[in-house]
Structure 1
Amino acid sequence: MKIRVYFVLLVLCICPVVSFAQEQKMSESEIVIFKQNVKEVSKKIKTLSTDFVQYKHLDFLSKDIESSGKMVFVAPSLLQWQYKKPYNYSIVFKSGKILINDEGKKSAVDVGNSKIFGKINKLIAGSVSGDMFDDKEFAISYYKNKTNTIARFIPKDANLKKYIKQIELTFDKDDTTVIQVKLLESSEDYTRIVLKNKVLNAKIDSSIFNN
């Protein structure tokens, strides 16, 4: 079970390795403005719900593994990922615990007992809200193209690096919200999550986090 939990958590923190045409490194002044805009937007996000499509790329497979579902976030850190296709599997981050429902089989993990779980939990919430610019935890670089801004995060923690080699967040230039999350694993495999049909600040029924 623990192996599967780690796998799913890694999958949640991630977005795809995408090669953008005419990608340019941002200047220091552009980075300051971008980070300020993201933080201002994230402060206004009280709730967020979105559909997602996840693509898991494995070198030994000719086709990416595709799954889909719905994600719900309530500030500051209440989070549910509900996979609906091709299987039913949900994870809730709530009150320092990770609640897992694997097609009716329920279990829980205390985040406080695992440094790695705690960091991954912070990454997930940060990737959703866009508020994860922590220079103490990551070496961060910033890039831009015609339509998006890309922030790349390399963990400084040696233990975390065993699971996550690099994280990429892709932000829409118009509303400065995350539209894609990517995780590059210690191997060259990666997971890409595309967020779509976002709804901001709608009322969320708290019962969905009971899992």
Structure 2
Amino acid sequence: MIKNIAFGAFLLISGLFFAQNTAMSGTEAKAFVTRVSSGTQQIKTLQSDFTQTKKMDFLDKNIVTHGKMSLRSPNMLSWRYTKPYQYSIVFKDNKIFINDQGKKSSVDAKSKTFEKINKLIVGSSNGKMFNDPEFTVTYFKNASFDVARFTPKSSQLLKYIKQIELYFPKNQSTVSQVNMLEASGDTTNIVFKNTKINAPIAASEFTL
């Protein structure tokens, strides 16, 4: 259950469909990576409202949730779901802390799949995600977005995730949308809005 929660939170990371994208040329991909890596170097904190939609084969309706994501470099990440229920998950000090409507728990994330997912999310704010050895990265584009697609290399991670796509609006260096396709065929989409960069974040955001 914790695995499903972590993956849902990451993606983490909403009426999901994988858009028809065109592959970037080698030159385009290099320019994209350089732009994002350069643009995120000065990011110390990131806050954003999000809407997450999960589509599961055995449910007729999508599961739609809303909340706030907070990130503090180098490795603190908080997801707080506010609607339709109260639920929080914090990645900090190689641990995952969970508050499920008042019921608190934690799990050691070191050397586990959770750590790799968390690392990828944090990496999206500093450009380091492109060098993550756990994933093969391919690059695509469409009229509105540049897209980085991450495919797990390890058989362990492939048991849960088939691919992750991060969407960057043209000429921007922060992610505005994340799509995940799980091995089961279920999909998760997260759309970010009202993003704030380098605004103060209270310590309580990373405490449950």
Query: What is the TM-score normalised by the length of structure 2?
Result: 0.92
- 1:206 matched to 2:208? The reply is no
Bigger CA drift: 121-130 or 42-51?
A: 121-130
The corresponding residue for 2:101 is 103
Give the C-alpha shift of residue 117 in structure 1. Answer: 2.1
Counterpart CA distance in 2 for 1:55 and 1:173 is: 23
Q: 1:182 to 1:130 in 2, by over 3 A?
A: farther
* Bigger RCO (CA 8 Å, 6+ sep): 1
Paired residue type of 1:53:
T
Cα distance in 2 between the residues matched to 1:71 and 1:90: 10
Q: How many correspondences in the alignment? A: 206
Where does residue 141 of structure 1 map in the other structure?
138
Report the aligned-residue RMSD: 1.7
Deviations 1:31-51 (CA, angstroms, capped at 9, x unpaired): 111001111122111111100
Aligned partner letter, 1:175: Q
1:157 equivalent to 2:154? Answer yes
Q: Distance in 2 between matches of 1:124 and 1:179?
A: 12
8 Å Cα contact 2:52/2:191 also seen in 1: yes
Alignment-derived partner of residue 36 in structure 1:
34
2:173 is aligned with 1:176: yes
Aligned match of 1:192 in 173, 178, 189? Answer: 189
Distance 1:24 1:208 in 2: 39
2:23 aligned residue (18, 22, 25): 25
Checking the alignment, whether the CA contact within 8 Å between 1:13 and 1:183 is kept in structure 2 is: no
CA contact (8 A) 1:165 1:185 kept: yes
* Distance (Å, rounded) in 1 between the aligned partners of 2:102 and 2:36: 37
Q: Residues 109-157 of structure 1, C-alpha deviation per residue, up to 9 Å, x if partnerless? A: 1112x52122122123224555311363212111111110111111001
* Cα distance in structure 2, aligned partners of 1:179 and 1:131: 17
Aligned position for 2:91: 93
Question: Relative to structure 2, which stretch is displaced further, 77-86 or 131-140?
Answer: 131-140
Quick one: distance in 1 between partners of 2:203 and 2:56?
36
Unaligned runs of 5+ in 1: none
Unaligned ranges ≥5, structure 2: none
Other structure's SS at 1:133 match: helix
What TM-score comes out, normalization by structure 1 length? 0.91
- Cα distance in 1 for partners of 2:58, 2:96 equals 31
Residue 178 of structure 1 aligns to a residue in which SS? coil
